[in-house]
């Protein structure tokens, strides 16, 4: 069995260069690959196209990459928590493609399944449909959306083993499984790395066949994006 373990984030992101397309797992600040993002920022890799549900916040997640002007294009579903993203969008510094959330997930899945495209009713008759093929099935119009083509998928899991099998914890699963199966090269950072056989096979969410590199990360912050408390 192949040992896919690398020592740290620096070794994990080897081969990521300027101008590449990256998928980054996570939803809000939950389940994001913090260590790999920090390493990409430290190395100054730029001109990137990033596919993610959201763009982080100003001082965390993909927001760190935006602050350093490392992202050329953002493909995302929700971007409302990042003031720097808004500024770059309005000034024309950042190219943005907004994608309905279900379409985003399904385009990831299509890439993982080896399908070139999907058809979805989401976005028909809106700006999302501009320039895209529309087909009618059973009297209903559907947009043709292309599967994503990402050089790397970078995901974060709760536990993983040395063969790359991954287990996510609760809502931190989010976009990570569909992105893990979709990149040409998939990098996984985990909170706990265990030997093969330590994970219950019935509890594995991403089989190791999809994962090329894995390492145990450090210093996870686990921030709360919007803290809401009950009044007295």
Q: Is 71 left (phi over 0), alpha (psi -120 to 50) or beta?
A: beta
Backbone phi, psi, residue 216, to 5°: -90, 120
pTM of the model: 0.93
Pairing of strands 95-98, 117-120: unpaired
pLDDT over threshold 80, residue 232 = no
CA separation for the pair 232, 220 (Å, rounded)? 32
pLDDT digit string, tens, across residues 168-204: 999 999 999 999 999 999 999 999 999 999 999 999 9
Looking up tokens 């760190």 gives 64
Contact criterion met (CB below 8 Å) for 55 and 74: yes
Alpha-helix residue ranges (DSSP H) falling in the chain: 9-12, 34-43, 62-67, 83-90, 101-113, 176-180
pLDDT over threshold 70, residue 97 = yes
Looking up tokens 């040395």 gives 162
The rounded radius of gyration (Å) of the Cα atoms in the chain is 18
DSSP 60: B
Contact criterion met (CB below 8 Å) for 169 and 30: no
Interval 93-108 mean pLDDT: 95
DSSP 120: E
pLDDT over threshold 70, residue 16 = yes
pLDDT over threshold 80, residue 1 = no
């Amino acid at each position: 069995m192949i040992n896919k373990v690398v020592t740290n984030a620096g070794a994990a992101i080897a081969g990521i260069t300027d101008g590449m397309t990256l998928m980054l797992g996570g939803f809000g600040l939950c389940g994001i690959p913090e260590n790999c993002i920090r390493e990409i920022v430290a190395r100054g890799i730029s001109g990137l196209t990033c596919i993610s549900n959201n763009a982080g916040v100003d001082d965390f997640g993909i927001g760190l990459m935006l602050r350093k002007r490392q992202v050329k294009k953002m493909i995302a579903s929700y971007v409302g928590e990042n003031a720097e993203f808004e500024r770059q969008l309005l000034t024309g510094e950042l190219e943005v493609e907004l994608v309905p959330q279900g379409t985003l997930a399904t385009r990831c899945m299509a890439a993982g399944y080896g399908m070139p495209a999907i058809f979805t009713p989401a976005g028909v008759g809106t700006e999302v449909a501009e320039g895209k093929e529309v087909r009618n099935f059973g009297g209903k119009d559907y947009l043709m959306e292309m599967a994503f083509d990402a050089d790397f998928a970078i995901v974060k899991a709760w536990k993983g083993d040395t063969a790359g099998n991954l287990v996510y914890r609760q809502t931190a699963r989010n976009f990570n499984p569909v992105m893990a199966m979709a990149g040409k090269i998939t990098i996984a950072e985990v909170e706990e790395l265990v030997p093969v056989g330590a994970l219950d096979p019935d509890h594995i969410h991403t089989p190791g066949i999809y994962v090329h590199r894995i390492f145990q990360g450090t210093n996870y912050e686990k921030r709360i994006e919007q803290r809401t408390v009950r009044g007295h």
